[in-house]
Structure formats: structure tokens, C-alpha cells
Structure 1
Amino acid sequence: MSDPLAALQREHLQHLERYYAETLAALGYDGVLIYSGRPTLHFGDDQYASFCSYGHFQHWTGQSGLAHSWLLVQPGQPTRCFFHAPDDFWHLPPQLPDQAWTEHLEVAVVRDATPPRLGAGRFAVIGDVDRATAQALGVHAPGVECNPADLLAALDEGRLRKSAYEIACLNEANRMAMLGHRAAHEAFLAGGSELDIQLAYLQASRQRESELPYGNIVGIGPHAAVLHYQHYDSEPPRSRPSLLVDAGHRFRGYCADITRTWPGTDTDPLFADLIAGMHDIKQRLVAAVAPGIEFVALHERMHHLLGELLVASELVTGSAEMAVESGITRAFCPHGLGHLLGLQVHDVAGRQARDGTVLPPPAQYPALRLTRELETGMTVTIEPGLYVIPMLLEPLKASPVGREVNWTLVERLAPHGGIRSEDNVAVTSDSARNLTADFE
């Protein structure tokens, strides 16, 4: 075994065995069968959509692209993985990796996708299955329950606090992603198009597009104001005022999610100052991350800091408090401060309490994905933003409070699109560790 993370992964798996045993016992289950999932065909086509394995399957194996496989977890018995590797000459079958989980779990390499037989007792099957699908796949145990809500909530809660192994994986994902961000910036400075920048990112971060944890956002100029901009212009633009890159990496299933904004050759000095100001806001918010901090309160602090920046830059007259209370800051930044990060980019359990009850976001901040108190072991993104989005600013301009905005300066900034600065932060026992800053 040459796995450098072997010891940490064994500890992680031992923790999972204890947690599943306690959870299943508390809820009255004898075991749970976890389905990795299966790719789906595009309607009326013979091509499959992109695929990612179910998060709770990845929690044990780290295999993000393994389809038609199963995990059977029964307290008091070895956890069994049925690793689907069919005989196939059209495609290369998956291979078992040289990682500690393949020795710690009881692994059977199987040629077909039939699930293991379940014995007597109360079992749940979780994943991309309903009862009819489970039966079609071959799950025929009497009374088997598909995706029971109380069990899913408890297992989601179990992914909230990351083990030392998971932090190591997130750290490596950040390292590789930052290699990509540096290459993207260099490609932009060299005059590349959005497509050139995306290809430079992929090459430097050593991943193909289908392996990304999410579709990279690569926006030059006004495209940076589209929060989830999804295209890559293949021709370089005539004007290059700015570049925003929101791009990640996946390592053993764990995701990095990093954003950087850079000035270009045609940058207004005010925009360059705002980039520096937004970086400072991010640093102050990262420094405030600690156990016991309410994330909603941290999000509200972001808006107050953004209000101060808008006033200091003369984009807004009056006070920062007025800018927040009147909704001006929300028009300039409509998204949340951040979210949980792990096996999913927007990881599970961000809007639920420990007992599974829902914690909805405040009415004025509907996009906030994390509404609970920070705890040791959580990993979150911190990503304040400032954008010129006509769809949001035009109603503001037409309202009475619009007179508090310097629209001449807004028009100067419009060709730059917007700014987002995003790091990945692990909550430690007394403060936080910025995983992204390790590789800046």
C-alpha cells in the first residue's frame, strides 16, 4: 500500500463505522444499502449525461465516477463494497485504486450491477432510487425503505464535520485548483479568450472538463456580472477590463471552490481599488470564522462591510447602514456569503439544525445556503461579491433610494462586470484555517 493518506483514511472509515452503527441503532435499522447511482441517457439519444456518484457512497470510497456499485453497511459486520467492473470492450472498466479503503472494506469486484441480497431485518436503501427502481435493480427484501427522510437527515449531519482525512483531501483539491487559477491569470494576461483561459486552467490543474466539481465560470468584462456565466467565448474580446474565474478541483471526491478577480489592460482605476477592497473584506470575514459564530450574522456583516466600501468609493452617498437597510447592498451583491463544502460543492445540511429541522434563510437573503452556527470540523466558502447587474440595478435606479447611488461611477464600472473573491476555510477548534491561502 503506497497511499500517503492511508492512516488518515483508515481513521476516517473507523469513524464512519461508529457513526453509522449509532445512527442505524437509534433509528431502528439493521442496515443500509447505498447505491452509487447510474448515468442517464439524454431523451431521444444514445449519449449519457455527465455523472457523479452519490455523496454518501463517496463518503466511504472517494469514488466520484463509479456507477452501478453498492455499499452494504450492517453494524457488527464488515462493510461490503460491490465494485462494478463489467466485462467490456467498448469502454475501459474501472480499476480498484491503491487506497486504504480497498483493504479496510470487504470489496467484491462484480461483473453485473445486481445489488447484494439483504437478509432478515429492517433495511433502508438510499441513493437515486425509489421503490420501483430498487425492485427493478434487484432489491427485493420485504419492507425495504427507500430514502427515509430521518435517516438521510442523520447521514447528512454526519458529513458536516470533516475528519482529518477529509481536510487533507480538501487541502489537496485547493492546491491543484490554485495551479489552475495561476495559469488562467497568465493566459488572460497573454491575450487569451475565455476558452483559452479555460483550457489553460484544465491543463495546469490536471483534469478534464467532465471531472470538474462544477462548470468553471470564466468571464471577461461584462460576463463577470453573470453569477453562473456558462459560456466560453472562443475569440478574445477587443476590450479586456477584467477577468473573473470561479473554478475548482475534485480530489478523491472532495471539492475546491475558488474565485479570483483580476484587473486587465483596460481597467478603470476605481475597479482596481474595488478589487483590493473586496479582498480586504474577504480577509476580515475569514478572520471572523470560528466555532459558535452564526453564519447568518457573518453574512449580514459582509453587507455592512460592503456598504462601507460603497460609501468609501463614492458609489453611494450617506451611510453604510443606510446602504444595507435600503437594499442597495443587496442589489450589488445578491448571493450568499458562502456555503458548506465537501463531497458536494454546495454540501449537505447547510439549512438544517442538528435534529434535522429546517433552518430557512432570512426573507431578505433567500440565496443564503448556510443558515446554521459554525462548528469545529465544518468547511465553508467565504465569497463576498460586488457586481454591476443591470437587472438588479435598474429597479434601484427607479426607486426613491436610487438618488443615493452615483450612477456615473456605476456606468464606468459596468464594462468590468463584477468582483468575487472566494476562499475555502476549515473551522478549527478555536478559529479557522484558510485552505486556499496555503497555496496563494
Structure 2
Amino acid sequence: MSDPLATLQRDHLQALERCYAETLTDLGYDGVLIYSGHPALHFGDDQHASFNSYGHFQHWTGQTGLTHSWLLVRPGQRPICYFHAPDDFWHLPPQLPEQAWTERLEVIPGRYDEAPPIAAGGRLAVIGDVSAATSAALCAELNPPALLAALDEGRVRKSEYELACLREANRMAALGHRAAREAFLSGGSELDIHLAYLQASHQRESELPYGNIVGIGSHAAVLHYQHYDTETPRERYSLLVDAGHRYRGYCADITRTWPGTNTDPTFAALISRMHDIKQRLVTAVAPGVSFVELHERMHRLLGELLVESELVKGSAEAAIESGITRAFCPHGLGHLLGIQVHDVAGRTARDGSPLPPPTEHPALRLTRELEAGMAVTIEPGLYIIPMLLEPLESGPAGQHLNWALIERLAFHGGIRIEDNVHVTTNAARNLTPEIE
């Protein structure tokens, strides 16, 4: 019986070969050599930093931890993977997975501390974390911007194989989120919750697509909270978990917020309403929709919620114009998703020209129109962040804020609800399973 995923991967690789051939020919290159990369040593130490293979290398192989390997792509020829697998008694050499790419590509195992010998002739580019000396030795152009922009654009619209990988990554991440919630309600610390997530999602910490954010109470107001308290908190106001999974190189990026045993009823209601806002925004995803406008719609919905919950007096429009909604939610609505959590080409047009974010929304990572085949995150939020709210107190906006309620909810930190969404030909398909 044939493996459906293997069939999809073969189709994916065939399309990649066509795309690369067209791109290289259009730009006048006879080939490109892609370097997977290598881990860096900590300064003054013999320990290496964490490592992740270069995205364009992963686009072909899905191998996230493969170091010192190279991929040669030339139009009309079978791609060659120089697979770095030296004999070693200190470490277990990498093994070739049983996946379709190892059959489609010519794989040459060996030791490739330096670039592999490439037959001279033609115009060659080399991309990745490659030194100028290596590029010169290869007589190759190092990371040419026009080629990089074109290859980045080739990752924007996902193949059926990539979507299958994203769905599996989401499925595994959802298992982790359910376990995290159970650990929280059972009285676990942030570290306990993090470890429960890893166990349920079947991954070690070094395999995560990004560092898990596990914030109890006020820690949930730190957007990229990076610590795990080992002590169980006395009061359990809320839990925010932003955590993912990586499958064959493709990333899930899911966030959930849950009430605890000491949650203020107003905050619990805000969590429920944020789920509703997220769903309304997911429903609005479709080809041709401006993501900037969708982000601005999030602020309108957030303004309405702030007024309904009596955190803000006045109108939703006034809350937006005065900057109040940006103080409650300083991050963007979402970003492209794929091999990288914040995938490439989110702020460039199809022709490679820059599309910078609006001045009033500098953190927005996706500024282009949505297209069929894209995978994006939708992640509205609402946070009690003192350093953003306190400056409003002395200005005109200060009179519109319910400071007593803000102070009461500050112990809860914040709320973020995030799903991963595939833009289809006419609407959206949510890749994230139900978790609640």
C-alpha cells in the first residue's frame, strides 16, 4: 500500500524542482548550493548553541538538525544532497529517514566540514550561513538578494504536503496544550506545566519550534515571557500557554489562555469573548483580504470589547483613535507560518518590493494581501501591561480608562488566543484542533 504522505512529498519535490529551475534560469544562474548550516560555539566555551537548519534546506528535506550538509540544485538535473554523516564515537551520526526525499534526491553521505567539490563551470550561487572565503573557493555568488527574495516567495504558498505537515504539527501541539491545562488545574508550577506539555506532545525541549511561553497570572502580560517558575503560585488567576510543535520541519504555533481557581469573573468573560473575536477573524480570512485591514478589524473588535467590559468608557472608535487599544494589544494579529514560525516574505510583495508595516502598528509581521495557499496565524490579545497603560493616565485618554478595574485584573496578566489557518481558494480552513 502506498504512503499518502510520501506521494504528497514527491509531488512537493517535483514542484520545487520546477520552481527552482524557473527561478535560476530567469536570474541567469546555472545552479545554487544550499548550506544547512552549523551550530556556533559559545564564546570561550566548548559547548554549542542550539541549532536549526537553514529554512531553504529544510524546504527540500524537512531536516531541522542536519549540520554541515549541502544541497546542489541545477535546472534539468537531479538535485544532490551532500549528507554530512561522519564516523564518530562521541556522537551518533545522523541517519537517513525513510522519506520520499531520500529517493528523489541523489544522496551522497560523507564528511563535509568544508563545501563539497563542485564541478567548475557556469554561474553558481551559494546561500546560507556561508563565509566569503567558502564562496570565493567555490567561485560562487554569496547570498544574492534577488535570488533569496525569489526563493523566499516560493515558500509563501504551501503545497498539499506542507499543509499535511502543518496539520500534524497542530495535532501534536494540541495534545500538549490539553496536558498543560490539566497540569495547571492540578496545581502545577510553570515548570511542571512546561514539562507536561513536552511529554504529551512527544518532543524534547531542543526540538521545539520556539521556546514555550508558559505564564501564570501577571507573567501572562509579558508577551514573550521566557522563564518557568518552579514554585507553585499561591493564587491561580490564569494561565497563558503559547507553544508549538515541529513536524518534518513545519511549525505549529498555538496559544490558549485558561481561567484558574481564583479568576475574576470579568476576566473569565474576557477569555470567552476573545475566543469569539478570534473566530470572527478566522472566518474573515480569504484570498484578496488585506492583512493590515484584518489587523485593524481586530482593533475595532477589541475596542468594542473594552467598552462592553467597562475597562474603557466612551466609544470603541475613541479607544482606537486615542491609542488605548494598542496599549492593551501591542502586537500584530498574526504572521505567515511554515518552516519558520515567523515565516519569510511576510513584509514583501510578490515582486520582492518591501511592504513595511503601518507606523501605528510597527510590530505587524504580515502586511500583504492574503492568497490561496498561505498559512497564517490569527492571534488577537488583551493584556494588562503597566508600562503601556500608565503613560496614558496623565493624558487625555486617561479619563476614559477604568483604573480600578484595570488594577483588579492586573494579577491575571493577559489573554491571547491563537489558531493556525490555511487560506483556501475562497475562505479559510482552521488547522488547529479544538482544545477546550
TM-score with structure 1 setting the length: 0.97
**Structure 1 residue 111: Cα displacement:** 2.6
What are the equivalent positions in structure 2 for 1:61-210 lying under 5 Å apart?
A: 61-118=61-118, 119-135=120-136, 140-142=137-139, 144-210=140-206
Whether contact under 8 Å (1:215, 1:230) holds in the other structure is yes
The question of 1:45 aligning with 2:40 is answered no
Whether contact under 8 Å (1:3, 1:99) holds in the other structure is no
Report percent identity of matched pairs. 77
**Structure 1 residue 114: Cα displacement:** 3.2
The residue aligned with 2:311 is 315
**Cα distance in 2 for residues equivalent to 1:376 and 1:344:** 19
Moved over 2 A (4+): 1-4, 111-119, 132-135, 437-440
**Cα distance in 1 for residues equivalent to 2:41 and 2:68:** 15
The residue aligned with 1:379 is 375
**Cα distance in 1 for residues equivalent to 2:295 and 2:57:** 32
**Structure 1 residue 439: Cα displacement:** 6.3
- Count residues with an aligned counterpart: 435
For 1:100, the aligned partner's letter is A
What are the equivalent positions in structure 2 for 1:344-359 lying under 5 Å apart?
A: 344-359=340-355
**Cα distance in 2 for residues equivalent to 1:232 and 1:64:** 25
**Residues 32-87 of structure 1, C-alpha deviation per residue, up to 9 Å, x if partnerless?**
00000000000000000000000000000000000000000000110000110011
For 2:61, the aligned partner's letter is T
| 2:270 corresponds to which of 264, 274, 278 | 274
**Cα distance in 2 for residues equivalent to 1:170 and 1:285:** 20
**Residues 363-384 of structure 1, C-alpha deviation per residue, up to 9 Å, x if partnerless?**
0000000000000000000000
Whether contact under 8 Å (2:378, 2:421) holds in the other structure is yes
**Residues 140-186 of structure 1, C-alpha deviation per residue, up to 9 Å, x if partnerless?**
233x1000000000000000000000000000000000000000000
Whether contact under 8 Å (1:154, 1:356) holds in the other structure is yes
For 2:17, the aligned partner's letter is E
Say which SS state the counterpart of residue 82 (structure 2) adopts.
Answer: strand
Whether contact under 8 Å (1:388, 1:413) holds in the other structure is yes
The residue aligned with 1:283 is 279
Whether contact under 8 Å (1:177, 1:258) holds in the other structure is yes
Say which SS state the counterpart of residue 393 (structure 2) adopts.
Answer: helix
For 1:97, the aligned partner's letter is P
The residue aligned with 2:245 is 249
* Alpha-carbon distance change, 76 to 438 in structure 1, aligned in 2, over 3 angstroms: farther
**Cα distance in 2 for residues equivalent to 1:141 and 1:70:** 13
**Cα distance in 1 for residues equivalent to 2:435 and 2:135:** 44
Comparing 104-113 with 252-261, which one deviates more in the overlay?
Answer: 104-113
**Cα distance in 2 for residues equivalent to 1:202 and 1:408:** 38
Pairwise CA RMSD: 1.1
**Cα distance in 1 for residues equivalent to 2:386 and 2:44:** 38
Whether contact under 8 Å (2:217, 2:236) holds in the other structure is yes
**Cα distance in 1 for residues equivalent to 2:125 and 2:435:** 42
Whether contact under 8 Å (1:2, 1:98) holds in the other structure is no
Say which SS state the counterpart of residue 316 (structure 1) adopts.
Answer: coil
Whether contact under 8 Å (1:425, 1:433) holds in the other structure is yes
Give unmatched runs, 5+ long, in structure 2. none
TM-score with structure 2 setting the length: 0.98
**Structure 1 residue 117: Cα displacement:** 2.6
